[in-house]
Amino acid sequence: MNKRKATQLLVEFSVDLSSLLFANLISFLLCTAIHKIPNLTKQSAWIYVICLVLSFCVIFFGFSVSLDLSVRNRLREFIAVVRNCLLTYMTLSVALVLTRSDLVNGRYMFLISLFLFISFSCINRYFTKRLLIRHFSHSGLVNLAGVITVGRRAEDFVSNLQQDWTRHIKGVAVIDAEYQNGNYVFSDALKSSGGNAVAAKPKAIKYVSSVPVVANLDNVIDWVKRESLDEVYINVPYEYESKIAQLAEEIESMGIMVHINLPTLEKLVENSEFDNVECTMVAGYPTATLTAARQLPLSAVIFKRIVDIIGGFLGSLISLPVILVVAVPLLIESRGPLIFKQPRVGKNGRVFNIYKLRSMYVDAEERKKELLAKNEMNGYMFKMDNDPRITKVGRFIRRTSIDELPQFWNVLKGDMSLVGTRPPTLDEFSKYESHHKRRLSMRPGITGMWQVSGRSKINNFEDVVKLDCEYIDNWSAWLDLKIMFKTVGVVLRGIGAE
């Protein structure tokens, strides 16, 4: 995290926390004046404040908006504020119940402070954003940038760079332009419908997205030397690669940071559906890393694991009496072990043993070979209506998802997550095509997109892969929370696996 982003995060945290504390102070004074608050001991007051601050910190760092403050519009800002405020108070409610605080019954103070918190946060963020713009524009935190590109890319590239108001672009050098009569002129080759290149009419360009065009290939170095610049962005297509290498090296020798696109890499991935590219030094060599799997920041990985540990522990405690209740009829109906253990494939091909309550007869795997012709799933998963291998009690625990309760132990061990993708069997995995393995790039989960999207009605394995990849590409703590709530609804309605 650079200095600018750290400053933004610190300011946002301070502003939101001060809004929360001020809202609760006003609410407390108001409710005290109208006698709508229970008598508080000093200990209860401190417990409330500690729970309040901890709830805020959990939600702020766990559900913070990943989009930079500089490019958030007002609607997105408002939605983020309301969401975080509601989640903070939901977390606070749970904390107060668990600590048996006297303020559990202080609903007037609770509702008033929530309304004030939302109001103060919206107002404070609006003015904070304006102050940050002014501050960054007149401080050493703003980056003075130059752009070197070609005419046909200039408009899109510069306008995208301008979305971050902490970057001030001083000028644009169009390397395929010619200097004629005081103007920089370039002609772009346009492709006709037949695929042949047709020369467009030369045109003069003075500005690109309100940024002056100041140089071409002949004088760009002279401009960089005399201009005040912290960084230079170079974006050129593949055919200009040889011309730009020496240029970038000379600018870098001036002590200026150079951001350069990799034309060779660009040509390599231009037809790829994946755009996760990271460039680093590996063993002394500049290396581009391409991945279809979304790489989560360390803070998100830690947060998800903490939630898994807490959820796995609580889930195990709640599951134990339920398992004991269903164990008796399950064992009476069919002899065999209570817990079914099966090798499954986890993150990036790691094999682990998944635990479930046994819902089938002991010889289920042997009988599966006889039933393959009746498989209703197109692809590498097996599913059929009225599977004769499932016991009567097994149908009940499958429909209510009770059979999956032992998987909380898998979550505690770290083999699985509360929310994730479906872990395949070894047999299913052995038949995978290349793109199928992408669904294993995140830790598998007890529940997931497939489970809450009407899994009993999905009969195509490619649809399962699509849902899993959608989860991976769009993961957030908020998405996990939504899937958990949907899972509760699915279980209560008895829409389990068939």
CATH of the domain at 263: 3.40.50
Average pLDDT rounded to a whole number, residues 147-155 = 87
Q: Work out how many domains the chain is built from and give that number.
A: 3
Same-domain pairing of 339 and 421: yes
Q: What's the chain's Rg over C-alpha atoms? A: 30
- Work out the pLDDT band at 193, boundaries 50, 70, 90: very low
Same-domain pairing of 129 and 212: no
Same-domain pairing of 154 and 223: yes
pLDDT at residue 151 greater than cutoff 60: yes
Q: Which helix (H) or strand (E) holds 185?
A: strand 183-186
Would residue 440 count as lying in a domain?
Answer: yes
pLDDT in tens, 300-357: 888 899 999 999 999 999 999 999 998 888 888 888 888 889 899 998 889 999 999 8
Specify the pTM.
0.57
Same-domain pairing of 206 and 242: yes
Average pLDDT rounded to a whole number, residues 396-412 = 89
Mean pLDDT is lowest, of 113-127, 235-249, 310-324, for 235-249
Residue 256 tokens read as 């200026």
Residue pair 227/146 in contact by the 8 Å Cβ criterion = yes
Average pLDDT rounded to a whole number, residues 459-488 = 88
Higher-confidence position of 317 and 389: 317
pLDDT at residue 3 greater than cutoff 80: no
Same-domain pairing of 11 and 90: yes
The strand ranges marked E within 348-468 are: 351-357, 417-419, 445-447
Which of 137, 162, 190 is the last residue in one of the domains? 137
- Alpha-carbon distances, residue 450 vs 405, 406, 444, 467 (angstroms): 18, 20, 12, 6
Same-domain pairing of 202 and 123: no
Q: Is the CA virtual torsion 31, 34, 38, 43 positive or negative? A: positive
At 156 the pLDDT is 87
Average pLDDT rounded to a whole number, residues 209-227 = 89
Same-domain pairing of 115 and 222: no
Owning domain of residue 425 = 298-492
Same-domain pairing of 71 and 112: yes
Same-domain pairing of 173 and 87: no
Residue 438 buriedness (CB in 10 A; 0-12 / 13-18 / 19+):
buried
At 275 the pLDDT is 58
At 194 the pLDDT is 44
Higher-confidence position of 324 and 180: 324
Q: Is the CA virtual torsion 460, 463, 469, 472 positive or negative? A: negative
Helix, strand, or coil here: 436?
helix
